[in-house]
């Protein structure tokens, strides 16, 4: 997944960013609402983590504006505001979850996974695809009962395929999943990682539509 983090506290922001990256997700971090607005206009995010109290305004207004435009990107609010009325306001504005600071980073990872599974249509963290058993919560794969080790980038791409079974994904769409891993995305990066996924999972699991993109193959 590619996640947008909107948080002005540099200590917390660094911790959350590192946690997300450690989970194998890509993350863009901004500290102001105007920067967040520019970010969502230019990038298709899979999830947004939103602080409510920011230097240039309240996150609730940003969220309401997002939903008013028809944006359905899932949003998890991260805030020190812990009153029931605050939670109700956030959820009524269109948030999918609400986490009160200070929070455990492992719980944040679990909340992100839960919201992502709901949106991908896989509420169960364990899914199967042919001989593959995939634990979405643990981000682990077993093939014929044997563990398969994926790098963070490989998992990000496989997760993109898994969340859109049968759908053709362009090279540009797949590159979007890798941009925030703090390394340059070369012209052949997708081809290299797809080749590695085929070697680890089986050649039939990622199909190529020449000149158009890739899709998850049938089990």
110 plus 41 within the same structural domain: yes
152 plus 74 within the same structural domain: no
Is the Cβ–Cβ distance between 152 and 18 less than 8 Å? no
165 plus 189 within the same structural domain: yes
At 21, which helix (H) or strand (E)? Answer: helix 10-22
Last residue of a domain, one of 78, 102, 120: 120
Q: What is the pLDDT of residues 79-91, one digit of tens each?
A: 998 888 888 999 8
Most confident of 4-13, 112-121, 128-137, 155-164: 4-13
194 plus 134 within the same structural domain: yes
Q: Is the pLDDT of residue 167 over 60?
A: yes
What are the Cα distances from residue 140, in Å, to 46, 111, 148? 20, 17, 7
CA-CA-CA-CA dihedral for 41, 46, 49, 50, to nearest 10 = 30
154 plus 184 within the same structural domain: yes
Q: What is the pLDDT of residues 15-66, one digit of tens each?
A: 999 998 888 788 999 999 999 999 998 888 889 999 999 999 999 999 999 9
59 plus 140 within the same structural domain: no
Last residue of a domain, one of 120, 145, 163: 120
Taking the C-alpha atoms of residue 89 and residue 68, their distance in angstroms, rounded to an integer, is 15
Strands 140-143 and 146-148: antiparallel
107 plus 171 within the same structural domain: no
Structural domains in the chain (count): 2
133 plus 166 within the same structural domain: yes
Q: Is the pLDDT of residue 71 over 90?
A: no
Q: Greater confidence, 194 or 119?
A: 194
12 plus 115 within the same structural domain: yes
- Look at residue 77 in the predicted model and tell me its pLDDT: 95
Residue 209: count of CB within 10 angstroms of its CB: 11
Q: What is the pLDDT of residues 120-140, one digit of tens each?
A: 655 556 778 889 998 876 778
Per the structure, the complete domain to which residue 176 belongs is given by 126-216
25 plus 103 within the same structural domain: yes
Q: Is the pLDDT of residue 93 over 80?
A: yes
């Amino acid at each position: 997944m590619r996640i947008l983090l909107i948080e002005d506290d540099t200590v917390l922001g660094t911790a959350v960013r590192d946690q997300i990256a450690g989970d194998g997700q890509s993350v863009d971090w901004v500290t102001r609402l105007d920067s967040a607005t520019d970010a969502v206009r230019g990038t298709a995010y899979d999830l947004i983590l939103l602080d409510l109290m920011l230097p240039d305004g309240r996150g609730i207004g940003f969220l309401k504006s997002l939903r008013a435009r028809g944006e359905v990107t899932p949003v998890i609010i991260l805030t020190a505001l812990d009153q029931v009325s605050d939670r109700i306001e956030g959820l009524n504005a269109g948030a999918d979850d609400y986490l009160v600071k200070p929070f455990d980073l492992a719980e944040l990872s679990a909340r992100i996974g839960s919201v992502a599974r709901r949106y991908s249509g896989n509420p169960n963290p364990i899914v199967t695809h042919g001989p593959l058993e995939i634990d979405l919560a643990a981000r682990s794969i077993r093939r014929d009962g044997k563990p398969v080790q994926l790098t963070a980038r490989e998992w990000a791409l496989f997760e993109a395929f898994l969340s859109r079974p049968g759908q053709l994904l362009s090279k540009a769409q797949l590159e979007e999943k890798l941009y925030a891993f703090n390394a340059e995305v070369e012209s052949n990066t997708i081809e290299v990682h797809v080749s590695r996924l085929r070697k680890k999972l089986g050649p039939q699991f990622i199909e190529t539509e020449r000149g158009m993109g890739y899709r998850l193959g049938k089990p």
